[in-house]
Structure 1
């Protein structure tokens, strides 16, 4: 079970530029690599017990051993160690069936050190000089507190460390925790965030600061913040010297491989989402409409389109999603004045190329006033006619983005 999850993580980590060397503890224990270290822990049993007891309300039993054994009879750790011969032999009893067996630490695959001893043992064995740890491990009496003393008993020194804080999932509360079932995988994150933006989430946040991985509307802001960072890096947006230095370093750390030599295509994430919804998720159609897109920018934009559409389809709030109404859908019931306003809007859209967004917005307000309609009421009617919802993207910009070819057939049904 654990191995299947390990393999899933190992397969996906290279996508975010992380390619570590893996050390499998189970394999090392089973192959006897830690036999000497387990024997040393047994030799230092009294000293280790004294350290652990300092952080316990109830002292460990006098017959406690700094080792755990999984029964060869049941494959469970419901065992009691009866005796250590002072060298390599451990005798234990299976508490479920009463059977007794003697094992050799150099040959057995069923013995291991408990976590609070295993961790400092591995610092010594692997020569670890730096290892951060979470808030729970660094809490008073936590495993780092005990390990930094036990490691000296085992002949080493504690590594340099710092505390990193918890992650939470926006909108669900609490820290990400496998024990409570509050989990998301890296694969889940990469559905919504490109690898660079995923790295940016961490690179732009101090390690000792709690932050949330968001799947709600904050996704828009996170992409906007990353794009700002990129613009500052390439000198497309001004910032003071201190912020420029910070943003440049964050941008470098956010890249999976080499730092790009040019900025990606600068399109606001919200606008990209609108384009995708206008084109029913068709990335090719969106790309075709961006006439100033450079060939060198296309791959990165396509990747972002995939993430944007995944977010729209699976995570965005219901009121963020919309679809242009089709010719077979029933007409919206409107008052006579609203119908006249829609007819006037149709006439304006026929000359859409004559307007920029500001001019079109002013004309929409003029139509409402001309027919003595409160602007909010007219906007509501226009949205209902176009997308079947009472609210939507900024109307003037939305109409221009959609284009007269898509808007006129919808408005024309009310002529």
Structure 2
């Protein structure tokens, strides 16, 4: 068996288990050339609307595990099943180009629903799948996509469907073991979920928990036809003959017909039967699922019985993954009214940073993706980890998470050549309103010994900072430098305040760099207190520093706070600082 990497983490441990399971299944089985890869990891996504950051965990957990297996030289494939043959359940709120008229399509396959107005794609499913596929490519996720519409309508599952219909009584008996306790548990879970969690469940391939097509007279059928007249699944199976495969159904639209199931391709197995059928069909060894699919009576638990007892396969190793929350998601236009998507996140986060959020937490640990001021701390943590790795002080699990975030088995992912602090970049683009000449001037002065010669050195992080500043920082919190000195405030200053400003102005030229200005602005109150500029701050000194900072902020931007003062001074420029501070 392949060995765990030295930087053991949750990904390595799961990869150990998956490889061991694959070897166990392979024992005694012939492996002729041309067979599918020995290890199959799987994800399922339903393009029923914007596929959000909670759904991304459905992809990232198996991606990270599959990538680790590939790093060890073991053949592995990551399947993403696009559940685009699911029914259109409801019209999602806040999707641009969509209104209540889309309600007429409820019950149709997602691939039969028209896309939002103005879309370049041919169907609802294709529109939302394309957005997610683009984000996955950017994130370095390699996978083989499977359209369930194509699988069902091509007849790929024909034998599995006919088999399930023949075994419908046995399937019903398995499902019956869980129906009562499953419903009780689901009601209990639903009551405990907040609105964000309920919203996050949309878009999951396992969102549907029904286990029956609703046959006439209470008969159980695991197959649900789409009506050949209205294309909706408002159908009831009235009869089925195992020998001839004749299936009769009636639809709420009034249409009724009898078809040969061995030829009919407009329908699908109900979810709780469909999922275990696919495990057996694809030979899936690893597939995680959300907490809502692992309670008693839910699809993962019941599926484990069905795949073994009915389809002769085995349930995948499937750890539960926890909820992904969002902090500060205002103004993300493409998901207005819903949960932000990976594409939204990639507008403000570099690829390695977003990958790191999913790599550093075990699947059963919840976490939040920040779109508000917390993003500044997230970038700071990422940069600090990079420094620890460089100096050798990082913990092994953190080293592993960083490596998984910044590289894949195929090689390194794109990164910013000169990753200046995100908070510094966001302050600069805030002050300059994105003017490239001014931005370059300021960044060039941050560190005179290592000047920034081109903004390309700071991209894509600079572009992410500009996008965050323009979309996430409220207008009333944007920085507006004064055009003229505040004459009234300057006239009201006492002698101590005037002396502090003189000390600051006198030191500008000598300290004109980010580090130098940092030392200067913190040092002025120390010198005025008769202390050495390097003295450790006391509570009294911190109070004096805060009062001094407020004074400078008021004179420069007319507020008590703003970007970090050293960055603000660099951005304003020495001449303008002197003018506004009354020199």
- Alignment TM-score, normalising by the size of structure 2: 0.61
Please, which moves more after superposition, 3-12 or 295-304?
A: 295-304
1:66 Cα deviation (Å)? Answer: 0.8
Trace 1:7-406 onto structure 2 (pairs within 5 A). 7-57=130-180, 62-87=218-243, 88-97=245-254, 99-152=255-308, 153-171=310-328, 182-233=338-389, 235-236=390-391, 238-239=392-393, 243=395, 245-256=396-407, 258-259=411-412, 264-265=417-418, 267-281=420-434, 282=436, 283-289=439-445, 291=448, 299=456, 301-316=458-473, 321-327=478-484, 331=486, 333-334=488-489, 336-338=491-493, 341=497, 345=501, 348-355=504-511, 356=516, 357-363=518-524, 378-395=548-565, 398-399=568-569, 402-406=572-576
Task: Tell me, in whole angstroms, the C-alpha distance in 2 between the residues paired with 1:210 and 1:294.
Answer: 41
Moved more, 400-409 or 2-11: 400-409
Q: Following TM superposition, by how much is the alpha carbon of 1:181 offset from its aligned partner in structure 2, in angstroms? A: 5.6
Q: Distance in 1 between matches of 2:368 and 2:278?
A: 31
For the Cα contact (< 8 Å) 2:419–2:461, is it kept in 1? Answer: no
Instruction: Spell out, residue by residue over 1:120-153, the C-alpha distance to the aligned partner (whole angstroms, 9 max, x if none).
Output: 1111111111111111111222110110011121
> Could you tell me how far apart the structure 2 residues matched to 1:64 and 1:163 are?
30
CA shift, 1:32, in A, is 1.3
Q: Confirm or deny: 8 A CA contact 1:368 1:374 kept in the other structure.
A: no
Contact 2:304 2:314 in 1 (8 A): yes
Cα gap change, 1:79/1:268 in structure 2, threshold over 3 Å: closer, same or farther? same
Give the Cα separation in 2 of the matches to 1:309 and 1:303.
10
Deviations 1:368-401 (A, max 9, x none): 99xxx97655543321220121122454564356
Quickly say closer, same or farther: Cα 1:297–1:56, change in 2 above 3 A.
farther
Q: Show CA shifts across 1:90-145 (max 9, x none).
A: 11112331x32122233323121011011011111111111111111112221101
> Using the alignment, how far apart are the partners of 2:493 and 2:360 within structure 1?
49
TM-score (norm 1): 0.84
Asked whether the 8 Å contact 1:196–1:255 carries over to 2, the reply is yes
Moved more, 5-14 or 57-66: 57-66
1:292 is displaced (CA, Å) by 5.1
Tell me, in whole angstroms, the C-alpha distance in 2 between the residues paired with 1:20 and 1:296. 39
More moved, 359-368 vs 384-393: 359-368
**Looking at both structures, which has the greater relative contact order when contacts are Cα pairs under 8 Å and sequence separation is at least 6?**
2
Distance, in Å, in 1 between the alignment partners of 2:380 and 2:301 is: 41
Deviations 1:210-254 (A, max 9, x none): 111111121011111111222223x23x526xx1x2222111101
Find the counterpart in structure 1 of residue 578 from structure 2. Answer: 408
RMSD: 3.4
Q: 1:262 to 1:395 in 2, by over 3 A?
A: closer
User: 2: distance between equivalents of 1:11 and 1:374?
Assistant: 52
Moved more, 125-134 or 280-289: 280-289
CA contact (8 A) 2:350 2:415 kept: no
| Residues matched between the structures, number | 397
1:335-365 C-alpha deviation (Å, 9 max, x unpaired): 6342864587267425412344334433357
305-314 or 395-404: bigger deviation: 395-404
Q: Mark the runs of 5 or more structure 2 residues left unpaired by the alignment.
A: 1-123, 184-210, 531-542
In 2: Cα distance, 1:151 partner to 1:345 partner: 76
